[in-house]
Structure 1
Amino acid sequence: MDFDKRRAYWRANTTLIRNLLIVWAVVSLGCSILLVQPLNALHIGSLPLGFWMAQQGAILTFVVLIFIYAISMDKLDRRNGMK
């Protein structure tokens, strides 16, 4: 693989990582800390949404992002002949 293809592959990889980290930061910091009071006005069952996001939502989001990363990198690897 030549230099330009490797550079494009690495740029796509780092862009994916950056975007997923932004989503993770918005969910974990935004929903769990900064917006907890407004979110507590909403309820999931008997739990306030802000509390639920801090306890479960951020963790579930992180697990989903791991799967998104794995699937996206598999596609990127196949597209660039890495596998």
Structure 2
Amino acid sequence: MSFESKEHAVQYWRENVRLLLTLLVIWFVVSFGAGILLVDVLNEIKFFGFKLGFWFAQQGAIYAFIVLIFVYVKKMNTLDRKYNVQED
């Protein structure tokens, strides 16, 4: 992977780190927030016969993580093409 200039490399990594931090915050909010902090409030809601707080703690965080992986791949492929460092 070679960048056209040092400036492009800095911009690429800045966008990459921003994307990573955004996705990690979303994952934290879903897993810790919905699965632990808001569990009592969410347990008032039923989801497929289960309390929603329990569902987020057991299943929802895992599903959210898998979705975030696919979002990361899509966004990184776009970012790679933007800076002309994609794999052929």
TM-score, normalising length: structure 2? 0.92
Structure 2 unaligned residues grouped into runs of 5+: none
Partner of 1:68, secondary structure, is helix
Higher relative contact order (CA 8 A, sep 6+): 2
Structure 1's consecutive aligned runs of 4 or more residues displaced over 4 angstroms after TM superposition are none
* Partner residue, 1:15: 18
Of Structure 1 and Structure 2, which has the larger fraction of its residues in helix? 1
* Partner residue, 1:68: 71
Distance 1:63 1:45 in 2: 20
TM-score, normalising length: structure 1? 0.98
* Partner residue, 2:85: 82
* Partner residue, 1:56: 59
The aligned length equals 83
Distance 1:71 1:62 in 2: 14
Letter in 1 for 2:54: F
- What is the root-mean-square deviation in Å for CA atoms of aligned residues? 0.5
Identity %: 46
Distance 1:61 1:80 in 2: 28
Distance 2:63 2:46 in 1: 17
